[in-house]
Structure 1
Amino acid sequence: MTQENYQQKKLGILGGGQLGRMVIQAAINYNLEIHILDPDSNAPCKHLCQSFSQGDLKDFDTVYAFGKACDVITIEIEHVNTEALEKLQEEGKKVFPQPHIIRLIQDKRLQKQFYKDKGIPTAPFLLTADKEAVREHSSFLPAVHKLGREGYDGRGVQLIKSERDLDKAFEAPGLLEKFVDFEKELAVIVARNEKGETKTFPVVECAFHPVHNLVEFLFSPAEIAPSLEKEARILAERVIDQLGMVGILAVELFLTKEGELLVNEIAPRPHNSGHHTIEANWVSQFEQHFRSVMNMPLGHTEARSPAAMVNVLGEEGYTGEALVEGMDELLASEGVFIHLYGKKLTKPFRKMGHVTVLDENLSSLKAKAQFIKKTIKIKA
């Protein structure tokens, strides 16, 4: 594919949420033709793409018909019909990430077994068929019980500290993962194109909501030793190379108190841990995503500035048409960049937007992130 005909290729994205929206916002500068399929008639991408189709991402016929009209097909959410994508691939369509990789990542049980088989460091785990199987492994506690399939944004994850918590276990196939008493939660975004060119973004540090398991804050760069930075980026490259994947991959890591890096989970798409790259890095994760799947040269990933990112979530106790509070205070703040996702309705802890702040001073950066968290509110 030469540079002259990138614009002649139709890129289809399964999913029309905020991730697809930010891919489109980056792709507009390249005159790329992007088509979206999403089940929501008011999806955030609807008015930004060349064409929008409403339909079920898990329905074979819907996904197949959508993909037939595209040259390259990619995703912004893993929960899609892989059988349709495989048929499209067999018929000559470019599908990235490849369907068999999406299927592997859809099931955390297969994902964890992949790490084990490839010698990729990860927490010890046991596969479980149901709640009773978890009870049989009470000696393995404390552990985290994860649904094999359909978990998303903190759903499908339960901490089982002791036998008193066993009723929290899922009555479905899953895995019991040994609880890791970690020092930090880190993430690396890595991309690879068809030519095999691979690039990583700098390591970031994530702070999660204590109850809902959603990222509340992200800080870039992570406060870790240069040797660990290098090790984490090499590990992310190793994961994408072992997969043989084309596209962008988020690799979530635990840094243990003993200084060991363990792969927690991976996501084969743009990810919450890379939102800050729009302003903070020479290329954003969203631009890198379409560069990788379109087999374009990958962009320069290094940071232009230290950054913090704050997720803007729907306020607890509010459901209905979204109203934003605190915008004026944020707009008057230096180095603050607001991204709202175009979602008309809010509900508790729904991802409604994010705010990035740039500041060379780390303590000032953290203070601004706390100010943002307290100031901007999404209510109804």
Structure 2
Amino acid sequence: MQNYFSSHFKLGVLGGGQLGRMLLSETQKLDIHTVILDKSADAPCAQICNEFYQGDLLDFDTVYNFGKKVDLLTIEIENVNIDALDKLESEGLTIYPKPSNLRIIQNKAQQKKFYKEKQIPTADFNHYAFVDELKHSYENGLVTFPFVWKSARFGYDGNGVKVVKNYNDLEALPEGECIAEKMIPFKNELAVIVARNPKGDLVTYPVVEMEFHPEANQVEYVICPARIDETVAEKARKVALKVADAFDFVGLLAVEMFQTQDDEILVNEVAPRTHNSGHYSIEASYTSQFEQHLRSILDFPLGNTDSKLAGIMVNLVGAEGYTGEVIYENIQEIMNIDGVTPHLYGKKITKPFRKMGHVTIVNQNIDKAREVAQKVKETVKVISK
């Protein structure tokens, strides 16, 4: 049996951002040797992992050669070179999540087609190889305003997603493969994190509710548990489990969903990794999502996903109008409040809407936690010198 602890075993992680940084806090507890690849020399993981390599995650040779240095490979970002992962897997390297899953998930058009094939509920959509095709569809009455445009590749944190309300919006869209998705009038945006190990054991975290920033299209607050009826929560968990089973997924899968006006659940998209919607779990859950990710990919028993307390996560993002060396204004003030824990991601340079950290608020009472979250949001400003 493989000895992972205080041993020669090397866990490789593609990506060295904040998700990797929070994963390292768990590998350090278990003394698991961790090797990171990231394109940036000052990535959040660079100074605190056991070994760090700088390189392009989309370059075949870089990813392939990195994979030869490690005993098991995982990711903290899905935009990686899948051809290199396929070759490594064919040569016997264990990779979770599986490259075949990542190939589907990293392309939103393929992801949506997969849901349709597997009869997983999702919003209606059309797929276009070029924006010009989308324009022709509109001109021929096949698409009507408003609709949601999504770039098939490389979207993140509100980038690569736009509500198209008129022809001027349509004209302004960037070139490239995309989907046009029907606008869903929804009550809530929800998420469920599913963990699955190679044995096929499955657990879900409680359903969380996400509140978004209206301009940036970024999550501002994650609220656990979601303030929804238990029958809706149960429906959301069942849909999330169906998605994980359809992929035959191993690792952590965050399933983002819409709760429609008539309480149907539609899958929006998934992330095949630890996720912003699970950060609350570090303080509020018996098993954080980062520990659970390790448990799932190393085929350990999965941990208890219950919450000890209600938890709310507030994203700390760069304020508009500030670019440069970061200053967290008034952060000491929120540290006077019970149940408040800041997490800063080690990014030295801020820019508008860049994710720089988050704050978790825990409380017995979800409404009280939400009040404190509002106060935190209004107090801390991420600015520059």
Q: TM-score range by the shorter chain?
A: over 0.9
Code of the aligned partner of 1:72: L
Q: Distance in 2 between matches of 1:132 and 1:5?
A: 52
> Does the CA-based 8 Å contact 2:314-2:373 persist in structure 1?
yes
Corresponding position: 1:336 with 2:340: yes
Q: Which residue of 2 aligns with 1:357?
A: 361
Q: Which residue of 2 aligns with 1:61?
A: 61
Q: Distance in 2 between matches of 1:256 and 1:69?
A: 47
Of the three residues 231, 237, 254, the one matched with 1:233 is 237
Q: Distance in 1 between matches of 2:265 and 2:171?
A: 31
Code of the aligned partner of 1:126: N
Q: Distance in 2 between matches of 1:163 and 1:47?
A: 48
Which secondary structure state, in structure 1, belongs to the residue aligned with residue 192 of structure 2? strand
Q: Which residue of 1 aligns with 2:260?
A: 256
* Deviation at residue 245 of structure 1 after TM alignment: 1.3
Q: Distance in 2 between matches of 1:212 and 1:101?
A: 28
Q: Which residue of 2 aligns with 1:368?
A: 372
Q: TM-score, normalised by structure 2?
A: 0.96
Which secondary structure state, in structure 2, belongs to the residue aligned with residue 316 of structure 1? coil
Aligned length: 379
Q: Distance in 1 between matches of 2:175 and 2:87?
A: 33
> Does the CA-based 8 Å contact 1:324-1:379 persist in structure 2?
yes
Q: Which aligned pairs between 1:173-184 and structure 2 lie closer than 5 A? A: 173-184=177-188
Q: Distance in 2 between matches of 1:188 and 1:170?
A: 31
Q: Distance in 1 between matches of 2:168 and 2:326?
A: 39
Larger deviation, residues 53-62 vs 16-25: 53-62
Q: Which residue of 2 aligns with 1:17?
A: 17
Q: Which aligned pairs between 1:92-107 and structure 2 lie closer than 5 A? A: 92-107=92-107
Q: Which aligned pairs between 1:237-316 and structure 2 lie closer than 5 A? A: 237-316=241-320
Corresponding position: 1:37 with 2:41: no
Partner deviation per Cα, 1:19-46 (whole Å, 9 max, x = no partner): 0000011221111111100011011111
Which secondary structure state, in structure 2, belongs to the residue aligned with residue 322 of structure 1? strand
Corresponding position: 1:134 with 2:111: no
> Does the CA-based 8 Å contact 1:221-1:307 persist in structure 2?
yes
* Deviation at residue 364 of structure 1 after TM alignment: 1.5
Corresponding position: 1:348 with 2:319: no
Alignment gaps of 5+ in structure 1? none
Which secondary structure state, in structure 2, belongs to the residue aligned with residue 219 of structure 1? strand
Which secondary structure state, in structure 2, belongs to the residue aligned with residue 239 of structure 1? helix
Note the aligned Cα RMSD (angstroms): 1.2
Of the three residues 178, 192, 203, the one matched with 2:207 is 203
Code of the aligned partner of 1:143: F
* Deviation at residue 301 of structure 1 after TM alignment: 0.4
Alignment gaps of 5+ in structure 2? none
Q: Distance in 1 between matches of 2:168 and 2:41?
A: 44
* Deviation at residue 18 of structure 1 after TM alignment: 0.2
Larger deviation, residues 362-371 vs 311-320: 362-371
> Does the CA-based 8 Å contact 2:190-2:207 persist in structure 1?
yes
> Does the CA-based 8 Å contact 2:4-2:32 persist in structure 1?
no
* Deviation at residue 5 of structure 1 after TM alignment: 4.1
* Deviation at residue 6 of structure 1 after TM alignment: 4.8
Code of the aligned partner of 1:208: F
Partner deviation per Cα, 1:66-92 (whole Å, 9 max, x = no partner): 111111100000111111111111111
Which secondary structure state, in structure 1, belongs to the residue aligned with residue 312 of structure 2? strand
Identity %: 49
Q: Distance in 2 between matches of 1:296 and 1:62?
A: 30
Corresponding position: 1:70 with 2:74: no
Which secondary structure state, in structure 2, belongs to the residue aligned with residue 36 of structure 1? strand
Q: Which residue of 2 aligns with 1:187?
A: 191
Q: Which residue of 1 aligns with 2:48?
A: 48
Q: Distance in 1 between matches of 2:115 and 2:294?
A: 26
Code of the aligned partner of 1:279: E
Q: TM-score, normalised by structure 1?
A: 0.97
Q: Which aligned pairs between 1:82-121 and structure 2 lie closer than 5 A? A: 82-121=82-121
Corresponding position: 1:27 with 2:31: no
